[in-house]
């Protein structure tokens, strides 16, 4: 069977293409921009890539067109597909029906931490000999690839709440047949497609409705937005985690920065049943909570707490999640896929706890659709308190005046709209014992490499 994927070079669609190829399908695809690393990865797997959307690529017609959610009406291939009644589906629906339907699906949802938690869970299952399949919206460095079929019934999927396609405005995760579901947290995001928090909560409750009665839903006990979703009805086993006395699953910090912590599983009488310790290179309370959620999910498929903690102690991490990309002469540069003020806040707090009084410079491009719209202006200002200075990059796509941040921010900051000026300002601050955190969920116009090269040349 020949499937042709429109929008193949996105992280999700490219990963789906690899799964389809490995499952025995003939796979081709196209995108507006075909470039490494995704293009290289696809071509190495024998997948034909076409740049652009000339309808000639649909002649002769494939057996099925899989449409990415970046495609919209007016796209030449979309119009040809519709005019000629070619069979089509969305990426999430194809994944659910052809890869996930017969699997035990461990889905990781939430506003923040999906990629990291999915990677932790895949690592735990792999170390326990369960050889899971997975599709993750990033590259877990412990696995080396963003997706694989696996050799068992278990499949870990990052469950995104973004819409499925131009013809299916339900969230992607509705299609995934989740058996074990993590909801890490829930906040307002994706203002380009959701009117308000209630609209997002509605989609999450649709997701909860798909979990079988014998399935499991894992969530923090203290997240009121999630509690409101669950109050609408849940027919599955619920597992709460946190630090409340009645939480069966709890964490206890051994080191304040989160680099060492204990996970404790107790019965309803408060008697400890299992526990384990994690000592790793990561920091931040958000990562501790991500780890706890992954441990609970793994426990549901037979992995004990000590096994999980042992695996997490060796967890390398995910590319672009506080990934160290340069380190020399007291200067450390991190690449972080920050997409929301809460993620920025928790990441910087974790770094501050880890490095003490060292100088932290945050360089932030508010690139997500929600931040570009200016929805999170006030929370953006308060999210950077743990840094010593912030350089904000106002690119041409940001349609609000970022100068307003200077009026409410509590630490020194600059708003810069030229990349060369941004590099110069950062280089001038690159003294000994400085940690530079580049925060963007995009390519940042090659800024990461340009800054590293500029500092190397000092």
pLDDT higher than 90, residue 145: no
* Residue 268, domain member (yes or no): yes
pLDDT score of 102: 93
Residue 67's domain is classified under what CATH number?
A: 3.40.50.720
* Residue 434, domain member (yes or no): yes
* Across 34-43, 352-361, 369-378, 403-412, least confident range: 369-378
* Number of neighbouring beta carbons within 10 Å of residue 456: 11
**Per-residue pLDDT tens digits for 289-329:** 999 999 999 999 999 999 999 999 999 877 777 888 888 88
Which whole number is the average pLDDT over 251-280?
Answer: 92
CA pair distance 203, 196, nearest whole angstrom: 12
Q: Which two tokens stand for residue 446?
A: 């090659």
Domain match, 126 and 228 both: yes
Nearest Cα to Cα of residue 296 among 68, 90, 117:
117
Domain match, 72 and 114 both: no
* Residue 157, domain member (yes or no): yes
Domain match, 309 and 333 both: no
Domain match, 226 and 107 both: yes
Picking from 313, 341, 370, the residue at the C-terminal end of a domain is 313
pLDDT higher than 60, residue 374: no
Burial of 200 (0-12, 13-18, 19+ CB in 10 A): buried
Q: Cα-flanking dihedrals φ and ψ of residue 225, to 5°?
A: -65, -40
Q: Which domain holds residue 134?
A: 102-313
Nearest Cα to Cα of residue 293 among 181, 152, 414:
181
Q: Give how far the C-alpha of residue 453 lies from the chain's centroid of Cα atoms, to the nearest Å.
A: 28
Q: Are strands 168-171 and 154-158 parallel, antiparallel or unpaired?
A: unpaired
- Contact yes or no for 220/226 (Cβ under 8 A): yes
* Residue 96, domain member (yes or no): no
CA pair distance 43, 418, nearest whole angstrom: 35
CA pair distance 389, 360, nearest whole angstrom: 7
pTM of the model: 0.82
Residue 364's domain is classified under what CATH number?
A: 3.90.190.20
Residue 65 or 453, more confident: 65
Domain match, 127 and 212 both: yes
Phi-psi region of 433 (alpha: psi -120 to 50; beta: other; left: phi over 0): left
Burial of 190 (0-12, 13-18, 19+ CB in 10 A): buried
Number of domains in the chain: 3
Name the most confidently modeled range: 124-133, 191-200, 415-424: 124-133
Q: Which residues pair with 42 in a beta bridge?
A: none
Average confidence score pLDDT of the chain: 89
Domain match, 327 and 387 both: yes
Domain match, 229 and 283 both: yes
- Contact yes or no for 256/349 (Cβ under 8 A): no
pLDDT score of 45: 87
* Residue 162, domain member (yes or no): yes
CA pair distance 111, 77, nearest whole angstrom: 32
pLDDT score of 322: 80
CA pair distance 288, 258, nearest whole angstrom: 6
Residue 176 or 430, more confident: 176
- Contact yes or no for 228/201 (Cβ under 8 A): yes
* Across 74-88, 224-238, 353-367, least confident range: 353-367
Q: How confident is the model at residue 372 (pLDDT cuts 50, 70, 90)?
A: very low
Own/partner pairs, 21-24, CB within 8 angstroms, 24+ separation? 21/45, 21/46, 21/47, 22/148, 22/149, 23/98, 23/99, 23/149
Domain match, 157 and 276 both: yes
Residue 378 or 130, more confident: 130
Residue 283's domain is classified under what CATH number?
A: 3.40.1190.10
Nearest Cα to Cα of residue 18 among 126, 199, 146:
146
Picking from 90, 111, 132, the residue at the C-terminal end of a domain is 90
Domain match, 173 and 202 both: yes
* Residue 95, domain member (yes or no): no
Domain match, 18 and 69 both: yes
pLDDT higher than 90, residue 100: yes
* Residue 378, domain member (yes or no): yes
Domain match, 350 and 273 both: no
Domain match, 11 and 56 both: yes
Residue whose structure tokens are 């940001």: 398
Picking from 90, 121, 136, the residue at the C-terminal end of a domain is 90
pLDDT higher than 60, residue 369: no
pLDDT higher than 70, residue 378: no
Q: What does the CA dihedral 70, 75, 77, 83 come to, rounded to 10 degrees?
A: 120
* Residue 318, domain member (yes or no): no
Which whole number is the average pLDDT over 351-370?
Answer: 82
pLDDT score of 91: 97
CA pair distance 254, 237, nearest whole angstrom: 30
């Amino acid at each position: 069977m020949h499937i042709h994927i429109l929008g193949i070079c996105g992280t999700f669609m490219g990963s789906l293409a690899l799964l389809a190829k490995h499952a025995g399908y003939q796979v081709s695809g196209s995108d507006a921009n075909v470039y490494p690393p995704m293009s290289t990865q696809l071509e190495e797997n024998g997948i034909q890539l076409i740049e652009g959307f000339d309808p000639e690529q649909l002649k002769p017609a494939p057996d099925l067109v899989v449409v990415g959610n970046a495609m919209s009406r007016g796209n030449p291939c979309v119009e040809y597909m519709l005019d000629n009644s070619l069979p089509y589906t969305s990426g999430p629906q194809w994944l659910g029906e052809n890869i996930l339907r017969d699997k035990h699906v461990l889905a990781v949802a939430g506003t923040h931490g999906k990629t990291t938690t999915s990677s932790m869970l895949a690592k735990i299952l792999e170390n326990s000999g369960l050889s899971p399949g997975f599709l993750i919206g990033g590259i877990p460095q412990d696995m080396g690839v963003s997706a694989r079929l696996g050799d068992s019934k278990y499949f870990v999927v990052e469950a995104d709440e973004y819409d499925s396609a131009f013809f299916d405005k339900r969230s992607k995760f509705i299609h995934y047949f989740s058996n074990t579901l993590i909801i890490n947290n829930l906040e307002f995001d994706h203002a380009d497609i959701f009117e308000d928090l209630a609209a997002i909560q509605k989609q999450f409750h649709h997701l909860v409705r798909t979990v079988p009665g014998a399935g499991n839903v894992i969530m923090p006990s203290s997240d009121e937005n999630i509690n409101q979703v669950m109050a609408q009805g849940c027919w599955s086993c619920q597992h709460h985690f946190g630090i409340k006395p009645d939480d069966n699953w709890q964490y206890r910090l051994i080191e304040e920065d989160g680099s060492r912590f204990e996970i404790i599983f107790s019965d309803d009488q408060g008697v400890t049943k299992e526990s384990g310790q994690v000592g790793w290179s990561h920091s931040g309370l958000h990562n501790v909570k991500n780890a706890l959620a992954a441990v609970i999910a793994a426990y549901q498929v037979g992995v004990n707490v000590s096994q999980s903690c042992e695996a997490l102690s060796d967890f390398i991490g995910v590319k672009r999640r506080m990934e160290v990309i340069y380190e020399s002469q007291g200067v450390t540069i991190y690449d972080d896929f920050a997409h929301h003020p809460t993620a920025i806040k928790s990441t910087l707090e974790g770094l501050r706890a880890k490095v003490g009084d060292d100088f932290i410079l945050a360089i932030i491009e508010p690139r997500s659709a929600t931040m570009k719209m200016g929805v999170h202006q006030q929370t953006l200002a308060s999210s950077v308190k743990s840094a010593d200075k912030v350089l904000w990059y106002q690119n041409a796509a940001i349609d609000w005046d970022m100068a307003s941040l200077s009026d409410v921010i509590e630490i020194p900051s600059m708003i810069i709209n030229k990349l060369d000026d941004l590099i110069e300002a950062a280089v001038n601050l690159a003294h000994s014992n400085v940690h530079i955190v580049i925060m963007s969920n995009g390519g940042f116009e090659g800024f990461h490499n340009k800054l590293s090269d500029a500092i190397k040349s000092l």
